[in-house]
Amino acid sequence: MNRLRQSKNMYTFPYEIVDVDYKINTELLQYFKDDIWVATVPRSGTTWTQELVWLLAHDLDFDAAKQESLTERFPFFEFSLFVHPEVKAELLAKHFGDNKKLEFIEHFSRSGYKTLDEWPCNKRRFIKTHFPFSLLPPSVMQNKCKVIYVLRNPKDVAVSYYHLNRLYRTQGYTGDFHRYWDYFSRGLNPWLPYYSHISEAFEHRHLPNILILNYEDMVSNLRGVVLKLAAFLNCTISAEGLKNLTQHLDIKNFRENPSVNGSEMADVGLLLKGEAGFVRKGGNGKREELMNDTALKNCVDQWIHENTYDKN
């Protein structure tokens, strides 16, 4: 891992990003006002928000959403930076002769700018990223792309991110949550530190092309968030459409939806068996990793206090 600084903050990424891929992804392609970005700290409701945004912008075309995976409809801008060449080679060898799976492996391991550069001219671009604002391509802000930023309680983010790091072969974490929390709190996981990331988002909250959402609001008042997002995207939605959309996004339905639940990643072996699924529990406050460890819980609470005290 290496540390990348583009502003007053410093973030953790694989070493390759500093030398090659960051400049390639951010400087070789222009981004335009019509592009829509969903940006988050990992495990802050990203996938949920992507599906919501895409459906609102496509007149609630549920059939189209089910026929094409979210990874294809809404490319993950910098995911290729985390695909180690040896992991890719192993996956390609494992699926030799299966052209569909080989094509998908090549798809998720290519630089984000290549996928977006080849995007059909008549189709709007939807882009997922975990980059903080200071690491977004300069033309995103210069050309006033719409950016939806979602933030979530750091306790829930840490627990969910822990499980994701165990799930993905590209991450390969094998330790327990106690050790993981040490990494998380010190900003030693990709795309962290947490508070640097969200503070950059708040610095941009006054801009008309930026919308900041709270994951907890999505859980408690999804209908209200849908209407707020629809207004931001200049979309209209009927009462029936709102009902159908919230039902589609219900966590029980979402977890079983193969177009969003990571099933295509599991099929090629990118997700490890025996771990929690890509779409896990949803909701908030479900932190069994903290419930039975009072010392760790106190440590987490102290960390939050120290990082938010001066901001309140």
What lies within 8 Å, CB to CB, of 97 at 6+ separation is none
Distance (Å, whole) CA 39 – CA 133: 9
Query: Per residue of the chain (312 residues), what is the pLDDT tens digit?
Result: 555 555 567 888 775 555 555 665 666 678 889 999 999 999 999 999 999 999 999 999 999 999 999 988 999 998 887 787 888 888 899 899 989 889 888 888 887 878 888 898 888 999 999 999 998 988 999 999 999 999 999 999 999 999 888 888 777 788 889 999 999 999 999 899 999 999 999 999 999 999 999 999 999 999 999 999 999 999 999 999 999 999 999 988 888 888 887 777 777 777 777 656 566 666 566 667 776 788 999 999 999 999 985 544
- Is 130 in the active site? yes
Taking the model in full, what pTM does it have? 0.89
Of the candidates 95, 130, 163, 248, the residue annotated as catalytic is 130
Whether residue 198 contacts residue 41, with contact meaning beta carbons closer than 8 Å, is answered with yes
Residue 89: count of CB within 10 angstroms of its CB: 11
* Whole-number pLDDT of residue 21: 56
**What's the first-to-final CA gap in the chain, in angstroms?**
33
* Whole-number pLDDT of residue 222: 95
Distance (Å, whole) CA 180 – CA 123: 40
* Whole-number pLDDT of residue 268: 78
* Whole-number pLDDT of residue 24: 57
* Whole-number pLDDT of residue 166: 85
* Whole-number pLDDT of residue 210: 98
Asked if CATH classification 3.40.50.300 holds for the domain at 2-311, the reply, yes or no, is yes
Phi and psi angles of residue 212, each rounded to the nearest 5 degrees, phi first: -105, 125
Distance (Å, whole) CA 58 – CA 235: 9
Whether residue 273 contacts residue 80, with contact meaning beta carbons closer than 8 Å, is answered with no
Nearest to 14, CA basis, from 174, 195, 172, 177:
172
* Whole-number pLDDT of residue 312: 43
